[in-house]
Amino acid sequence: MAGPSESDRTIRIPISRARLHQEEHKVVLDVAASQLKTFATAPPQPWRDDQIKLTRSAEELRIGKRQVKAGEVEVKKRVEAERVQQPVTLRHEEVHIERRPVTGSAAARDVQITGREIRVPLTEEEAVVEKRPVVKEEVIISKHPVEEREIVEADIRKERIDVERHGDVRARDDNDRDRTR
């Protein structure tokens, strides 16, 4: 089992070094502040009738964590139209009419003069547009934790023990040195 924390320690100061001011609800210690550490490290001794218990408390900062909603990411898929142009080579047929003079035996044949019509069918290629959906990309949506260091600040309260001496007071610390103030 762990020993008491610093905030749980009790400092025992002999009653001869403390005065009680009842009207101010204060205990005035006739001990220099530098001596308090010496008292704090002294081995505990049984309580006597001439001793007063004085505790010093302080708040400790404990930082916990909790999950909160930080926001959300919305991934949408929408359809938009885009005009595209693509060159294509198309072929078509044209009629070429060539006129030649007839000479020789072909001109001496028997000829009838009549009306006649000749139809020559022409063909051409036209662009046929076919649209079909093709998968171009996959989007994988996942999330993962990321850790960041952050400095958390808070105000904590602690009690201080102030020692006030009034008049010509003699005090002795645990190092057996007389101090006059």
Residue type, 56: R
Cα–Cα distances in angstroms (integers) from residue 15 to residues 55, 113, 167, 176, in the given order: 14, 154, 18, 18
Q: Which amino acid belongs to residue 50?
A: D
Tens-digit pLDDT profile for residues 114-127? 898 999 999 999 99
pLDDT at site 10: 61
The string of pLDDT tens digits covering residues 125-176 is: 999 999 999 999 999 999 999 999 999 999 999 988 777 777 777 755 443 3
pLDDT at 72 over 90: yes
pLDDT for 139 equals 94
Q: How far is CA 111 from the centre of its chain?
A: 101
pLDDT value of residue 14: 67
Q: Quote the CA–CA distance of 70 and 84 in Å, as a whole number.
A: 42
Domain boundaries, the chain: 6-60+156-180
Residue type, 96: H
User: What is residue 45's predicted lDDT score, i.e. its pLDDT?
Assistant: 59
**What is the per-residue pLDDT for 90?**
97
> Please, what is the average pLDDT of the chain?
79
**Cα distance between residue 31 and residue 37, in whole Å:** 11
